[in-house]
Structure 1
């Protein structure tokens, strides 16, 4: 293993010398071995995915602009891929510079941070060939101009239901101010619904054309009821980074007797509103500050499902270091099916315009609301039956994977793998059909995307490679008149947005990241059964200034097998 690490280290220093893309920032090297192993998260033995023997996997901790090298050995008997909720979800708004009402100095600063970007490290099948059994692949990432709380997860074959996920912390550089004092401690909470059945059984259910049953429970950091203890000292303040890594359900979190001050969501500092409980929808992450200002006892941290007729809950313990071990009464109840409550809370989450982002520029220096959009894309989810099987769709198209990753096929100009324009910009409200759906888009366009939910179910959407401003959400049907209610001043920027039942959510997004990017439901059963597509953001320049070249270590498969990886 030591020889393998040395080889990989040498390889990437040669890679840096050849490409010069990673700069002088520090390097952080990780070597991960992916295996199956027995886990008992709910008292029943299951087959879980372990990373270096751990469930959940090891945490990645880095600083803005760090170069992160993760060498992944696949010891599973089937192909495997890891994706990253932060990777290339960049706040790189330089491409809008000349359209913004900002100073020449700011424009110069924004142009100065332009850097090569790529979807080659995204870790989903539309962009990357899977890691074959017994092989390895090394992800080379720079956490460029990012801060905040994120997570990683397996993206193939419903592996996410077996584990393989872990937390990511990206800290600010020392000279960039953070809008709150350094906390006394920093905790990660990976929360999510869970099934007692093995992931292979759940995959068989979906492949058979049926939907998943209701989950069996909720986990915190891979454990059930009172399975985790977080020790604090009285009078001190702590940061809790919380991610909903579950498969199907929105969750609510609350800490008995303690207020939670929201300070960050997916890389954006927020107005520091205080909440007694907080909704976290599928795929979302946030940071809250909690002050240990109560009598020295044990207090429950409670996580429970939202918008479900049967409420599932689990707990952890917040323990004062001088506690006698007694709890302060029963676990507190929380909201259950109240949609308006959650909607109002979501609207209260705003961008902190005076806080710095990953660079010294205040977040509010990006005047996103003063830029004219160049295109409106309306996306409606649906749940059609196709060929007698349950599927899920976007604008009537239920995505099916091609025999070759789309990014690879696009790079090598392999015909017949996908067709641009195979998904409409607007809902068709027709019957569902199967298609490898790819939407064409132009580099440096500025788009409005409206997610329209005509179902009675909660939806959550993620766009790889981007952060976007959530400018509006409401009940009913979206229309052009809905724009009158948009928040064009301090809407929060993040990479995942919820859409409430019979409701809509709207975002503004600069297409400043060339590549083939996955737009998907974060409900993993819906994603698996087709509620996703790819957005191909294209630049005719074909310059390394806009996008990194194909990596020399890129895996090739399908119709690209046997081709060279040296950039053409």
Structure 2
């Protein structure tokens, strides 16, 4: 058989390299890669005026913000350069609230669930396609309580086609607000004290945009948010605390909620917003008051100040300063909020695009408790203890049922593409637990603050709090994988208040093909001396 350069097949073969190059270019255009490098170091930090050594990303607290766009792929290289053995020397990074596709679940960053931590001198690159997800998120160390030492920062996924863009004029890095609790002692000493006394360490200070004060401390300048009269601002409020909730208000101003944990929300006007650990909200604030300085009230909740004389819950605040106003603190008093509060009620939140909660295929009931005389938190009588072999490794090696995991792994296995309902009964002790589901979000069918059951248009989010009212959540296993489901008060979590939800073990084995870099993590971690595994 003869061929010629003019034959259709030969023309195709000659054109093939160019076609492949074009396809690669188009793929790159469809999913741009945004690269970040985090050098995790021990260095000085003093957000409230007290200088201590922390665990910091690129030497700063918070770490550098990751500002990306819908459709991007986030590629983050983390270099562990920790040296201070008074704190944990290994680390692992979780991207809180960001969905993870099944075929990429090994990049999810949960120690001993989806991965192993890595020690000093080691590096790992997380690659996370963001797909169509948008909204406000954050990253932090998921190892023990390490992020209380400073390893936390924000991730914002901007939406060029935001359906609510007409409601605001400004939405950029300058309008990201973080609230955080802060300790003068290390998380290692704090955890040791908690285990010995059953008293969770109370923060020394609360911080608004990485600035705050403590009793008898220096008059550290408050963070200032500058606004122009007549302009509408989208403020993204992200609680990057390890323990504390914050109650947010702005003197003489209202806030219109338009996003809840990444879910676009039907506009809801409030003047007080309670933000639990790990929760995020976007609010629109119009600069419509006389030019001047106004307190941003950021009131820390969580813990008895009698357990730490440094804490003054009113001192973790900021200043809303209009252009043209003098550079001074507001003349008004530091209050706890408006005299006539119109506080956010979670059950009043509804998605901009409602998706009804499907009927459950499986029902779980989670009863949380701490046995008398023990610093152990339990779900249904079991305290979670991290296994030596990560959950994902066990699944890839054949684990398929609850019985294939140790009881202390508190692991629940379900088929793929099912609906799971988790009911948290009311807690007579009124202990607050903000539960967070990794890699997914859930419908809040019943919120803690109401008895109303809403399956028509409940809010979807990934952190919701249960206490004396209890709550009911539903989620699907449409993204097969092992997902942490735990209290985001990390002292509770590390003391046992956690579980793992596994969806579709067969699908996991079919779809998950980890990289050599991931394969090397557990052998390297297991070979570390004990002091570096902490």
TM-score norm. by structure 1 comes to 0.78
User: Closer, same or farther in 2 for the Cα pair 1:253/1:411, shift >3 Å?
Assistant: same
Large movers: runs of 4+ above 6 Å: 20-23, 559-562
Q: Deviation of residue 179 (structure 1)?
A: 5.1
Contact preservation (8 Å) 1:414, 1:559: no
User: Closer, same or farther in 2 for the Cα pair 1:341/1:176, shift >3 Å?
Assistant: closer
Q: Deviation of residue 341 (structure 1)?
A: 8.3
User: Closer, same or farther in 2 for the Cα pair 1:231/1:503, shift >3 Å?
Assistant: same
Does 2:495 match 1:529? yes
Equivalent residue number for residue 349 of structure 1: 349
Equivalent residue number for residue 105 of structure 2: 119
User: Closer, same or farther in 2 for the Cα pair 1:512/1:560, shift >3 Å?
Assistant: farther
Find the aligned partners of 1:56 and 1:304 in 2 and give their Cα distance: 19
Find the aligned partners of 2:27 and 2:385 in 1 and give their Cα distance: 34
User: Closer, same or farther in 2 for the Cα pair 1:444/1:239, shift >3 Å?
Assistant: same
Does 2:453 match 1:486? yes
Task: Decide which of 419, 437, 443 is 2:416's aligned counterpart.
Answer: 443
Q: Deviation of residue 421 (structure 1)?
A: 7.1
Equivalent residue number for residue 169 of structure 1: 156
Equivalent residue number for residue 397 of structure 1: 382
Task: Decide which of 357, 360, 364 is 1:377's aligned counterpart.
Answer: 364
Find the aligned partners of 1:513 and 1:209 in 2 and give their Cα distance: 40
Equivalent residue number for residue 252 of structure 1: 247
What does 1:99-118 align with in structure 2 at a 5 Å threshold? 117-118=103-104
Task: Decide which of 493, 512, 516 is 2:482's aligned counterpart.
Answer: 516
Does 2:71 match 1:29? no
Q: Deviation of residue 409 (structure 1)?
A: 2.6
Deviations 1:36-86 (A, max 9, x none): 111122322222111111111000011112011100000014211111112
Equivalent residue number for residue 212 of structure 1: 200
Contact preservation (8 Å) 1:408, 1:560: no
User: Closer, same or farther in 2 for the Cα pair 1:459/1:453, shift >3 Å?
Assistant: farther
Equivalent residue number for residue 169 of structure 2: 183
Equivalent residue number for residue 222 of structure 1: 210
Contact preservation (8 Å) 2:167, 2:284: no
Does 2:238 match 1:243? yes
Contact preservation (8 Å) 2:242, 2:489: yes
Equivalent residue number for residue 556 of structure 1: 521
Contact preservation (8 Å) 1:382, 1:394: yes
Equivalent residue number for residue 359 of structure 1: none
What does 1:129-528 align with in structure 2 at a 5 Å threshold? 129-172=116-159, 174-175=160-161, 177-178=163-164, 180-186=166-172, 187-208=175-196, 210-225=198-213, 226-306=221-301, 310=305, 312-313=313-314, 314-326=316-328, 327-334=330-337, 345-353=345-353, 364=354, 366=355, 368-369=356-357, 371-384=358-371, 389-413=374-398, 419-420=403-404, 435-454=408-427, 455-474=429-448, 485-500=452-467, 502-528=468-494
Superposition RMSD in Å: 3.0
- Stretches of structure 1 that go unaligned for 5 or more consecutive residues are 1-16, 90-114, 354-363, 424-434, 477-481, 563-568
**What SS is found at the alignment partner of 2:395?**
helix
Does 2:80 match 1:74? yes
The total of aligned residue pairs comes to: 479
User: Closer, same or farther in 2 for the Cα pair 1:117/1:241, shift >3 Å?
Assistant: farther
Contact preservation (8 Å) 1:379, 1:451: yes
Contact preservation (8 Å) 1:74, 1:131: yes
Deviations 1:474-530 (A, max 9, x none): 469xxxxx7xx3112221111111113x22111121211111110100111000111
Deviations 1:259-308 (A, max 9, x none): 11111011111121111111111110111111111111111111113476
Equivalent residue number for residue 4 of structure 2: none
Larger radius of gyration: 2
User: Closer, same or farther in 2 for the Cα pair 1:58/1:22, shift >3 Å?
Assistant: same
**What SS is found at the alignment partner of 2:346?**
helix
TM-score norm. by structure 2 comes to 0.83
Contact preservation (8 Å) 2:395, 2:505: no
User: Closer, same or farther in 2 for the Cα pair 1:541/1:22, shift >3 Å?
Assistant: farther
Deviations 1:360-381 (A, max 9, x none): xxxx3x3x24x32111111111
Equivalent residue number for residue 12 of structure 2: none
